[in-house]
Amino acid sequence: MGNRQNNRAGAFSWLRHGLKFFNIWQFDIMEERYEIRGKIGQGGLGAVYKGYDTRMNREVAIKRISVTSDDPALQEESTRQLIKEAGALASLQHPHIVTIYDVGSDADGPYVVMELINGKTLDELIERAPLTWPDFRELAIQTMEALIAAQELDLIHSDIKPSNLMLTWLPSGKFQMKIVDFGLATLTQSQTKEELEELEAVFGSIFFMAPEQFERVPIDARVDIYAMGCVYYQALTGTYPFRGETGNEVMVAHLHHTVIPLQDIRQGIPKWACDWIMWMINRMPDDRPASAREALQVFLQNDKNPSPTVSLGRAVPVVPAGPRPRMSGSAAPTAKAITPGRPILDPRMQPPGYVSPAPEPEPIPEPPPTTTAPQPLLPPEGSKPSIHTGPHEIPEVVSTPTVPLNPTGRIMPTVTRTVIIPQKKSNKGAKIAGTLLLLVIFGVLAMLLKQRLAENKLEQRYPNLIVEAGKSEVKELPVSGAEYSRFLKDAADAGTDDKRQAYFQALLKAKANDGTDIDAATSDFIIKTTQILPEVRELMIRSVLSKRVTPASVPGLTEFARSTKDTKSAIAIFEVTRSVTDDKQFEAYLSIARYHNDANFRKAAEESAISVIKKSNNRSALLSQAAEAEREETDSKIKESMKRIQAGG
C-alpha cells in the first residue's frame, strides 16, 4: 500500500510543477489539438462531445466536467484537484476500463479526453430483456476484474450504474465491457441531503448508491461493491433492488434494506449466484465482500460446480429474522447464504422524518413478475454471427457410434482404407477454368477501380457543391444519391450551427441527377438512423423533411413517431406531414389520440386527425369513427378530445 501511494505521489509531482503554466498553454492545446465534431450526450457530470485528436489522428470522446461551486476560488481548486486525480486515472490501463488520454482546462472549464467507444450502455440492453446466465457470468467476471485493477490503485468510482457500463463487440462476436467515468463522480459531487433525494432525475444513480453515501460518512471501495451488486440484480431481473416512487422513498429502501431476495424473482439462476449478489448489497459495509478480489474469488470457486441448485423465481416461506447474509470463501459447490432478515438500524442512520415500524415481522411482498424472457447479448445488426453466443445455447446431442469388440473383449481399432482412383488429365478443362478465373479477377478489379474513381470524384466535387449551395442565385443543385447521402450524414454530425445550415441549404436545393428518390432518402434517414441526437433530428425534420415530405413517406414516418421515445421529433413529424396526409392515416391518428401516454403527443395526433377530416371527401365516415370512439371512452379527457376532432372537422 505504501509503495503504491509513493508511486502516485511521484506521478503527481510533474503535474503540480506544470500547473503554474496552466493558464498560459492549456487553452491553446485544446484549441489546436482537438476538434469538436458533435455532441454525444449530457450527463450528471457534464456534456460529452465527439472529438478528433489531430496529433494522434484518432477519434476521441471529450467530457466537459461541470463544476458546481459559484466561488471562483473553489472552482479553481476543484479544477486543480480534478486534473490531479484524472492524471492518476490516466495511468489505469485496463481492457475493461475506459482509457483516459488527456486532462486539462481552458476558458470553458475542465475537460477529460478519453477513448471513444462505439457501443451500447448496459441499461439500453437490459431494457430490452434481462441477461441470460452465460452473458451475466461474463459480465460479472469482466466488471470484477475492472474493480480489482482500480482497487489496487486505491481508486473509487462511487457512481457505478448501468449507464456507466459500455459494451462493445469484438470481431468474434464476444462482448467486451468497459466502465466509464471512473473516479470522476467523486471529484464533482457536492450534493446536500435534499439534492440527494432528487438524484433519480439528475444522475439516475440513486437506485445504485450505497447507504453510507446518503449518510455523508467516509466511504471506501465497498460502495462500488454495493453498486455493482445493484447493477447485477437489475441485469438479471429487469427491476431495481431498492425501489420507490420518489427519491426519498428509494433512499429509505436503501437505508432500511427493503429488498426482495433475487431468487424470489428470477428463476433458472444458480442459487449460489443469487446469494452472492445479495451478499454484495448487504446494508452494512462489513457484511459485504471486503474487496472485488474476494468477491471474484468466491464467484469463481462456486462456479466450478457442474450441477448447481437453481433459483425457482418464487418466494419462500417467511422465516424468523436471522444474521445478515454472508458467503464462505471456500470452494464448496453448494455454499448457502443464511436467509436475510431485517437488520437492526442505528437511529443516527434513519432518514429525516422516518417513523420506526412496529417490531412485528412484515410479510415478504409479492415479487414483481419478469415480463420479458432473458435474451442473449448478440452483436449489433449487420455484424458477423458470434462464435460465442447464439440463439441455440444447447448443442445437438449426437449418438456415440458403437465400437466393435473382438472375442477377447478388447476394443478393436477401426481401419479406414482409402482407394485412390486415377483421373485422366484434361488440359482443355484446365484451360477453361483458368480463363474463367482470370475473367472473375478482372471483373472484381474493374468494380473496385470504378468504386475508387467514384469515391475520388466525390471527394473532389463535394466541397464545391457546398459552396454552390450557399449561392443565392443557385436554385437547384444536381447531385447523385451518394452525394445526397453524404449531405444528410454531415448535417447530422455537424459540430456548429453554421456548418449545419450550410448542409441544410444543400439538402433543400438538391435535385437527383441519377434517378435517386431523394425525398424518400430523407425520410429513411430520419427514421432509420440511430446515431443522431434528438435535437438534431427535430431540427432536420422541421428544416429539411418539411420541404421533402411526400404522401408515400407518411405511413413510415407515422409509425416511427408512434414508437419512438423522442416526443419532440414525433410531434414535429405530425406537424410537417399534415399537408400531405390522407384518410389512410386517420385511424392511426385516432388511436394515438386515445391511447398514447404523452399528452402533447396526443394533442398533435388530434390536430392531424382534424386536418385529415377537413381535406377528406369522405368526411361523414371519418366523423362517425370519431363519434364511435367517443362513445366507447370512459376517460373524460379522451372523450373531450374525440369531441374536438368532430367539431374541428
pLDDT tens column, 602-628: 899 999 999 999 999 998 999 999 999
In the predicted model, is pLDDT for residue 343 greater than 90? no
Q: What integer best gives the mean pLDDT of the chain?
A: 75
In the predicted model, is pLDDT for residue 410 greater than 50? no
pLDDT tens column, 206-255: 999 999 988 878 889 999 999 999 999 999 999 999 999 888 899 999 99
| Length, in residues, of the chain | 649
pLDDT score for 425:
47
Confidence band, pLDDT 50/70/90 cuts, at residue 399: very low
Specify the DSSP class assigned to residue 543. Answer: I
Q: Which of 529, 450, 536, 531 is nearest to 499 (CA)?
A: 536
Domain with CATH 1.25.10 in the chain: 451-648
Assigned superfamily of 120-316+324-342: Transferase(Phosphotransferase) domain 1 (1.10.510.10)
Distance CA 102, CA 339 (A): 48
Give, in order, the Cα–Cα distances in Å from 179 to each of 19, 134, 289, 562: 28, 20, 20, 34
What sign results for the dihedral spanned by CA atoms 212, 213, 217, 222? positive
Cell 413529424 locates to 573
pLDDT score for 382:
65
pLDDT tens column, 328-341: 443 333 333 333 33
- Tell me if 192 sits within 8 A of 198, measured CB to CB: no
pLDDT tens column, 471-521: 888 888 888 888 888 888 888 887 788 888 888 888 999 898 888 999 999
> Of 424 and 60, which is predicted with more confidence?
60
Assigned superfamily of 2-115: Phosphorylase Kinase; domain 1 (3.30.200.20)
pLDDT score for 634:
86
Confidence band, pLDDT 50/70/90 cuts, at residue 41: confident
In the predicted model, is pLDDT for residue 165 greater than 90? yes
- Tell me if 64 sits within 8 A of 46, measured CB to CB: yes
In the predicted model, is pLDDT for residue 156 greater than 90? no
pLDDT score for 130:
93
pLDDT score for 353:
46
- Tell me if 131 sits within 8 A of 138, measured CB to CB: no
Distance CA 160, CA 387 (A): 30
Confidence band, pLDDT 50/70/90 cuts, at residue 270: very high
In the predicted model, is pLDDT for residue 108 greater than 70? yes
> Of 293 and 446, which is predicted with more confidence?
293
Distance CA 310, CA 273 (A): 9
Residue 401 half-sphere exposure toward CB, CA atoms < 13 A: 4
Kindly write down the DSSP assignment for every residue of 546-598, as one continuous string: HHH--GGGHHHHHHHHHH-S-HHHHHHHHHHHTTT--GGGHHHHHHHHHH-S-
In the predicted model, is pLDDT for residue 197 greater than 60? no
Distance CA 101, CA 93 (A): 10
Q: What CATH number was assigned to the domain covering residues 451-648?
A: 1.25.10
Kindly write down the DSSP assignment for every residue of 74-125, as one continuous string: HHHHHHHHHHHHHHHHHT--BTTBPPEEEEEEETTEEEEEEE---SEEHHHH
Mean pLDDT to the nearest integer, 151-162: 88
> Of 82 and 263, which is predicted with more confidence?
263
Distance CA 498, CA 491 (A): 10
Does an H or E element contain 267, and which? strand 267-270
Distance CA 581, CA 186 (A): 53
Confidence band, pLDDT 50/70/90 cuts, at residue 407: very low
- In 365-495, DSSP assigns E strands to 477-479
**pLDDT over 70, % of the chain:** 69
DSSP bridge partners of 511: 478
pLDDT score for 184:
60
In the predicted model, is pLDDT for residue 18 greater than 50? no
pLDDT score for 463:
74
pLDDT tens column, 109-127: 788 888 888 888 999 999 8
Does an H or E element contain 251, and which? helix 247-255
Q: Which of 186, 362, 337, 159 is nearest to 257 (CA)?
A: 362
Domain with CATH 1.10.510.10 in the chain: 120-316+324-342
Q: Which of 235, 119, 81, 112 is nearest to 181 (CA)?
A: 112
DSSP bridge partners of 114: 61, 100
pTM above 0.75, yes or no: no
